[in-house]
Structure 1
Amino acid sequence: MSKVIHEFNDIIRKLRKDLFGKGPERIHTVFTENMAISTLYGNLTPTEKFICQSPDGTEMVHMARTKMIQKVYSENLPEGLEEVVGAKLVHLFSDIKVKEDIAVSVFVFDKNISS
């Protein structure tokens, strides 16, 4: 894994740990053109897993996770995110499959970030 991807993943992990109390257990990120595509495994806290025992709880955790991430990135970018890739973040698309505990985030930047 390149140093830049490793630093990028560390920023994502720290933000999610600070936000939710637990960061992902594993992150796989690829850079392609002007995008960073991150797959995050093992995201949910024990409390979220408990809440997900009902369909309503699963929907609540899904909405909270996706909306919270989008809000945080739109209001206050994680420190160093744009610096590590050398480009400005333009859009973030994020979703989580709660039952499988897998999340995907697609970061779209204003210029090519792949080397």
Structure 2
Amino acid sequence: MSQKIHEFNDIIRKLRKDLFGKGPERIHTVFVENMAISTLTGNVTPTEKFIASTADGLKMVHAARTTMIQDLYAQQTPEGMEELVGSKLLHLFSDIKIEEDIAISVFVFEDPISQ
């Protein structure tokens, strides 16, 4: 793993830990042209797992996870992210499968990301 990817993953982990009280256990990121595509596993807290044990709870945890992340990035790009990749963050697409505890985030930047 390159140093840039390692630092990018650290930014994601810290932000999610600060937001949800638990960061992902593993993050795998690849840079493709102007995108950073991250697969995050081990995201869900024990409380969220309990809440998600019903259909309504599952929908609530999913909505909270996806909406909170997208709103946070829309308000402010995480500190150091744009400097690290050398480009402005334009969009974040994010989703999570609560049952499998896996999330995908696609970060779209203005310019291609150099490796």
Shorter-chain TM-score: which interval?
over 0.9
Partner of 1:43, secondary structure, is coil
Q: Aligned partners of 1:55 and 1:101: how far apart in 2? A: 16
State the partner residue of 1:51. Answer: 51
Q: Aligned partners of 2:114 and 2:83: how far apart in 1? A: 14
Q: Aligned partners of 2:40 and 2:114: how far apart in 1? A: 20
State the partner residue of 1:12. Answer: 12
Structure 1 gaps, min length 5:
none
1:48-74 CA-partner distances (Å, limit 9, x unpaired): 000011010000000000000000000
Which amino acid is the alignment partner of residue 40 of structure 1?
A: L
Q: Normalization by structure 1: what TM-score? A: 0.98
Partner of 2:77, secondary structure, is coil
CA contact (8 A) 1:35 1:112 kept: yes
TM alignment of 1:60-75, pairs within 5 A: 60-75=60-75
CA contact (8 A) 1:32 1:114 kept: no
> How far off is 1:76 after superposition?
1.5
Q: Normalization by structure 2: what TM-score? A: 0.98
Which amino acid is the alignment partner of residue 92 of structure 2?
A: L
The size of the alignment, in residue pairs, is 115
Q: Aligned partners of 1:63 and 1:7: how far apart in 2? A: 28
1:58-109 CA-partner distances (Å, limit 9, x unpaired): 0000000000000000002110010110110000000000100000000000
TM alignment of 1:25-104, pairs within 5 A: 25-104=25-104
Partner of 1:108, secondary structure, is strand
> How far off is 1:37 after superposition?
0.1
> How far off is 1:114 after superposition?
3.8
Which amino acid is the alignment partner of residue 77 of structure 1?
A: T
